[in-house]
Amino acid sequence: MVLKRLYSWHGNLQKYWKEKIQSRLPEGTTAIACIILTTVGLTLGLKHFGLLESLELRAYDAFVRLRADQGTDPRLLIVAITEDDLRQQQRSTMTDQTIAQVLQNLEQYQPRSIGLDLYRDLPQEPGNAALREALKSPNIITIKKLGNTESDTIPAPPGVPEERISINDLLIDPDGVIRRSLLFGKTYPAFALGLAFQYLEAEGIVPQASPQNPDDMQLGAATFVSLAADSGGYQYNDVRGYQMLLDYRTRRIARQVTLTEVLEGKLKPEWVKDKVVLIGTTAPSGKDLFYTPFSAQAQTDHQMPGVEIHAHIVSQILNAALNQRPLVGFLPEWSEGVWIGLCAVLGGALAWRVRHPVMLGLGNLALLTALGSTSFGLLTQSIWFPVVAPTIATTLAAAGTVTFRAQRSQRQHQMVMTLLGQNTSKEIADALWENRDRLLESGKLPGQKLTATLLFTDLQGFSSISEQMPPEALLEWLNEFLEVMTEEVQNYHGIINKFTGDGVMAVFGVPIPRTHPQEIAIDAQQAVACALVMGDRLTTLNQSWQQRGLFSVQMRVGIYTGPIVVGSLGGKNRLEYGVIGDSVNIASRLESCAKERHVEGCRILIAEETLIHLQDRFEVESWGAMALRGKQQLVEVYRVVSQHPSSDS
């Protein structure tokens, strides 16, 4: 019983959709909706399986490079150990004595914090005792390396208390670029975070648990929410530890002085006082160089020293805590899905509405530029919103729509050719094709009532001729005649609706409806002028046939102007362009009436309904009111004699 009700409900729903909704939607809406849904599903699938991650990361890098340079951070100073410093000291690694001297020289200018980005787990004599003494200063942060295995671990310098030990591990994405930073690893703060803590403590800012989520750290105005696996353009990010997205503000983050300059006292006090000082190797031989978003654009120095990357992280933490620059945030996953869907709709709608290839290309370019500008604008406001997935959705939806439209046009063209064949003039074919969306509905030409002029022809005595000629010769002879007649109908902008054995049924004024009386008059004049020329062409054919020993013939033509209904006739397996109405019957009866009154060559009969549109352009002969077969009322009949020489049809 339940299944029966469900089946009934499903059937009623389908019926309601087809009758109430689908019938009111523009043709193609359902197909475009399917294309958009497929596009969105495909794009989300690509995103879900991480196939777009590398492209999103490259796009992010490009946006980072395009942002306005924020300049150096005046709160930072980098003491760089350069190749010149190594040559000056004649050592590949600085002695403990040298490092101790550097720390002592810096301390006299009262920095808030000093970060030693050098491993000192083993003595580098001479001067180990002096270094141990220097490291007792409470504002010095040292490093250890966690590593991935026990063998990779490098301990901190001996004797340094736990609260001044940090980790300097950097997070490298699969493509070798550093875009993320650790805030905590196990129980240790990151090197940059430890330095920021000391700087902010002087500002009265200390870390605490976020009121919204105790697992998140709040530091001043900023809440540091750890990166998720699918934050921003990431999809399968390694989220071990407490991470944040690294927000590079500039290529050169801080003022730099060399180790030698510090040893020689070539420092200005204001460079150091109340600053965060980072000491680290920038010499290429130190092998502490990494790729960053700036690497792809750099002409030289493609890699950035680790100490500079740590300085970027310090700057970012200070900016966020002091409410000077927010941390990079991410919109919810569902909003990305909505945005992808909207972009697919825009791409599909544009491709559906714009047909000109150049305009479509420019429109797509403008749309994709707008998408990129939107994502870039959000990043300047510290929101990373992926751009590749929406771009792919837009492009796929547009491509799918263009493909569907091309296939639909091909089907329409095939259908039009099936209905109208090749028996139309170029002007009518162009007009029909330009108006195909309005004329064609559900693969058919819907019935429409209009006023047109009908023309019927028939050959006198064709039956007796067919008895005297072999079928092959008869067919060739008849095709020669029909080809000439068809050519003239096309020349006068008519349509051959059908061949009636030895005759032709042509229509003037379809399929584009005539809405002005003058247009209807022109159709009538074209039909009559066409009939006269057909008579002339028949005379020429007769002369040719006689020379070849073939039969010559006479022709009757009936023309009538009046209302008809035109449209597709038949089913999906066979369609034809139907022309129905009493006007068709009258034109046919005019052609066949009073056969005994045939004149030499071509007889053309019209009714008064056609005569009123000829505007005295033709000489006619009245045959009076005549009874046509199947018609109760008499019809005023006229024979067309000729066209006035001065008329211009």
Share of the chain above pLDDT 70, in %: 89
E strand spans, 339-410: none
For the segment 253-289, what is each residue's pLDDT rounded down to a tens digit?
999 999 999 999 999 999 999 999 999 999 999 899 9
pLDDT at 507: 93
Rounded average pLDDT over 590-598:
85
More confident residue, 597 or 395: 395
Q: Is the pLDDT of residue 218 over 90?
A: yes
User: What is the average per-residue pLDDT within 163-170?
Assistant: 93
Domain-located, residue 38: yes
Residue 412 pLDDT greater than 70, yes or no: no
Q: Are residues 49 and 195 in the same domain?
A: no
Query: What is the pLDDT, as a whole number, of residue 649?
Result: 46
Cα 288 to Cα 143: distance, rounded to the nearest angstrom? 14
**Banded pLDDT at 299 (limits 50, 70, 90):** confident
**Inside any domain, residue 593:** yes
Contact 432, 417 (CB under 8 A): no
- Does the pLDDT of residue 21 top 50, yes or no? no
Residues 428 and 531 in one domain: yes
∠ CA 441-443-444, rounded to 5°:
70
Give the residue-averaged pLDDT of 29-44.
87
Does residue 291 sit within a domain?
yes
Same domain, yes or no, for 399 and 542?
A: no
Range of the domain at 110: 71-321
462 shares a domain with 403: no
Q: Are residues 458 and 383 in the same domain?
A: no
Give the pLDDT confidence of 501-553 residue by residue, as tens digits: 888 999 999 877 888 899 999 999 999 999 999 999 999 999 999 998 888 89
Query: Worst-scoring range by mean pLDDT, 74-88, 523-537, 593-607?
Result: 593-607
Q: What is the dihedral of CA 498, 504, 508, 509, to 10 degrees?
A: -10
Q: What is the pLDDT of residue 134?
A: 93
H/E stretch holding 182 reads strand 180-185
pLDDT greater than 50 at residue 199: yes
Q: What integer pLDDT is reported at residue 27 of this predicted model? A: 57
Residues 391 and 529 in one domain: no
The reply to whether 279 and 375 lie within a common domain is: no
Q: What is the mean pLDDT of the chain?
A: 87
Distance CA 96, CA 93 (A): 9
- Could you tell me if residue 602 is inside a domain? yes
- Domain C-terminal end among 374, 398, 420: 420
Q: Is the pLDDT of residue 5 over 60?
A: no
Instruction: Compute CA distances 298 → 60, 80, 389, 514, 558, whole Å.
Output: 16, 20, 27, 68, 84
Q: Which spans in 172-304 are helix H?
A: 191-201, 259-263, 269-272
307 and 180 within one domain = yes
User: 586 pLDDT exceeds 70?
Assistant: yes
**Cα-flanking dihedrals φ and ψ of residue 97, to 5°?**
-65, -40
Query: Can you give the pLDDT at residue 406?
Result: 82
Question: Does some domain include residue 370?
Answer: yes
CATH number, domain with residue 632: 3.30.70.1230
At residue 634, what is the residue type?
Answer: L
Residue 482: pLDDT above 80?
yes
d(CA 157, CA 360) in angstroms, rounded, equals: 65
As a whole number of Å, the end-to-end CA separation of the chain is 73
Of all residues in the chain, what percent carry a pLDDT higher than 90? 60
Q: Which of 162-166, 269-273, 286-290, 466-470 has the lowest mean pLDDT?
A: 466-470
Note whether residue 469 is domain-resident.
yes
Q: What angle do CA 578, 581, 582 make, to 5 degrees?
A: 145
Give mean pLDDT, residues 286-313. 91
> What is the mean pLDDT of the segment spanning 79-107?
93
Check residue 597 and give its pLDDT. Answer: 81
Other beta carbons less than 10 A from residue 111's beta carbon: 22
Task: State yes or no: pLDDT of 92 exceeds 80.
Answer: yes
Counting the structural domains of the chain, the total is 3
* 148 and 204, same domain (yes or no): yes
**Mean pLDDT within 371-379:** 92
Comparing 262-271, 444-453, 636-645, which segment has the lowest mean pLDDT? 444-453
pLDDT for residue 373 is more than 60: yes
Q: Are residues 473 and 593 in the same domain?
A: yes
pLDDT tens digits along 324-358: 999 999 988 888 889 999 999 999 889 888 888 89
Q: What is the pLDDT of residue 6?
A: 47
The answer to whether residues 47 and 131 belong to one domain is: no
Identify whether 21 is part of a domain: no
CA distance 258 to 86: 11
Q: Indicate whether 192 pLDDT > 80.
A: yes
Domain boundary among 391, 420, 449: 420
* Closest CA relative to residue 512, chosen from 578, 462, 448: 448
Same domain, 92 and 210: yes
What is the model's pLDDT at position 189? 94
Last residue of a domain, one of 321, 342, 364: 321
Examine residue 25 and state whether it is found in any structural domain, yes or no: no
Q: How many helices (H) and strands (E) does the chain have?
A: 20, 22
